[in-house]
Amino acid sequence: MESFGNLLRTKREEKNISLETASRDTIISKQYLEALENERIDIFPGHTYVTGFLRNYSEYLGLDSAYIVKLFNSKIMQEAPIPENLIIKKHVNKKIIAGIAGGAVGLCAALILTLYFTVIKPGKEKTPAVDLGKTAGESYTVSAIPLQRRLYKGDTICVPFPDNTVNLSVEKTLNTLALTTPIGVQYVELGEELEMDVDGTGGADIVVFLSDISKENENLGAEVRMFVKAGSTAAISANELISAGSVAVESGEVLKDGTKHTVILQDNRAYPFTINASFRGMCLYRYKSDRSDPAEHFLTSGDTLKVSAQSALRLWISNANTVKMQLVAEGKSYDLEMGRPGQVLVEDVRWIKEADGVYKLTVAEVD
C-alpha cells in the first residue's frame, strides 16, 4: 500500500516548496505538516482533524485529496487491533485444525472483498454496519433552545403548549423529511428552514432546518435543527433558562474550570447572542449551544456559519487562524480575536452573573 506521507513529501519536494512556505500558504502549522509527512497521527487531537488537514495539504500540493484520505483510512483500518469480544476463546480439536487452515484462506478473501465494497471503495454512500447512535422510537422535546438531532423514521417530536403537548411523528427520512402533524403531513427539503404550524391555529409554532439527509438510504436518518418560534404560544421564557444557566461570580474572578474570561459587554439582563463565522481555509468547526447536542461541520474558504445561543456557547475550531468570528448581541457587533495558524482552539462564550446582579457576556479560552 502506498504511503500518504511519502506522497505528500515527494510532491512538496518536487515543487521545491519548503515546509515554512507550505505552512504560511495553507495556514497549517509546520509541526502538523511534518506530522502528516511522517504519518505521526498520534500528535493530532483526533482523526477528524487529520482528515481535514490532509484534504487541505494535498489539494495545495495538487494531489488527489480523496485518494490521500483513503490511504489514511486504510492505514488506520490495518493498524486497528481486533476487538477482544470478536475473538472466540475456545479449545479446538486438533483433527479440525487442517480444515480451519484451509477455510481461513477463503475467509480472508471474503473479508478483503467485504472491506473493499463496504469501507474502501469510493463513489457510493456508506451505510454503517451497526448504527450505535440510533435507538428506535426516540422522543425529543423542542423548546426555545435550538435542538440539533439526527432523526430517524418512527421518532417523535414533542411540542409543549400551555394546555397540552402536540406530538409530531417522523414519517420519512429519504431525500425529504416528512413529519406527521395533527393537521397533516408536512415536508422539509434539504437546506430549507421551515416555519411550521403544528396545531392548526394559523401561526408558526416551531422552526425546522434540515441540514443533512440521504438520497439513497432512509436508515441514515436526517440531521435537523429545530426550536420553538419566539412569540408563539409554545414559546418557553428565555429569561428563565438564562437565569437557571447563569453562574454567579465576583468581578474578575477566575471561572471554576480555571480559565480567565474577557468581558465583551455587560447589562442588567441577559439576552440571546449570535456568532457569525466566515472561513478563509479548511476548518473543522464544532459547537454546542446551550443544552443541545454538539454539531459539527467541515468548512472551507468562502463558507459562512451562523450559530445562536440563549446563555452559553462552546466552540471547537481545528485551525483557528482560518476563521473570523463576530459576536452580535442586542443589535451590536464585536470582533473576536483569531487564533494562531494550526491552533486547535476551544472557547466558551456565555453570560455570567456577578454577585451584584449585573450580567456580563464573556469569552474564555479553554485548555
How distant, in Å, are the alpha carbons of 158, 166, 269, 328 from that of 335? 37, 41, 22, 9
Q: DSSP code of 294? A: P
pLDDT tops 60 at residue 70: yes
Mean pLDDT of the chain: 75
Domains of the chain: 1-124 (1.10.260.40), 139-228 (no CATH), 238-365 (no CATH)
| Averaged pLDDT, 254-266 | 64
Sign of CA dihedral 47, 337, 341, 59: positive
Task: State the pLDDT at residue 235.
Answer: 58
* DSSP tally for the chain: helices H, then strands E: 7, 20
pLDDT tops 80 at residue 18: yes
Q: DSSP code of 14? A: H
Which of 227, 127, 221, 138 has the alpha carbon at shortest distance from 177? 221
pLDDT tops 80 at residue 308: yes
Q: How many CA atoms lie within 13 A of 239 on its CB side?
A: 2
pTM to 2 decimal places: 0.37
Check: CB of residue 244 under 8 Å from CB of residue 228: no
pLDDT tops 60 at residue 153: yes
Each residue of 276-304: pLDDT tens digit? 998 888 888 889 888 778 888 888 888 88
pLDDT tops 50 at residue 123: no
The string of DSSP letters for 96-159 reads GHHHHHHHHHHHHHHHHHHHIIIII--SS----SS-TT--TT-EEE--SS-EEEEE-TT-EEEE
Which of 146, 338, 354 has the alpha carbon at shortest distance from 251? 354
Task: State the pLDDT at residue 99.
Answer: 53
| Averaged pLDDT, 243-254 | 39
- CA angle 173/296/301 to nearest 5° reads 110
Q: 3 or 79, which is more confident?
A: 3
Q: DSSP code of 290? A: T
Task: State the pLDDT at residue 37.
Answer: 92
Task: State the pLDDT at residue 103.
Answer: 53
pLDDT tops 50 at residue 183: yes
What proportion of the chain, given as a percentage, has pLDDT over 90?
Answer: 10
Task: State the pLDDT at residue 127.
Answer: 35
| Averaged pLDDT, 79-94 | 51
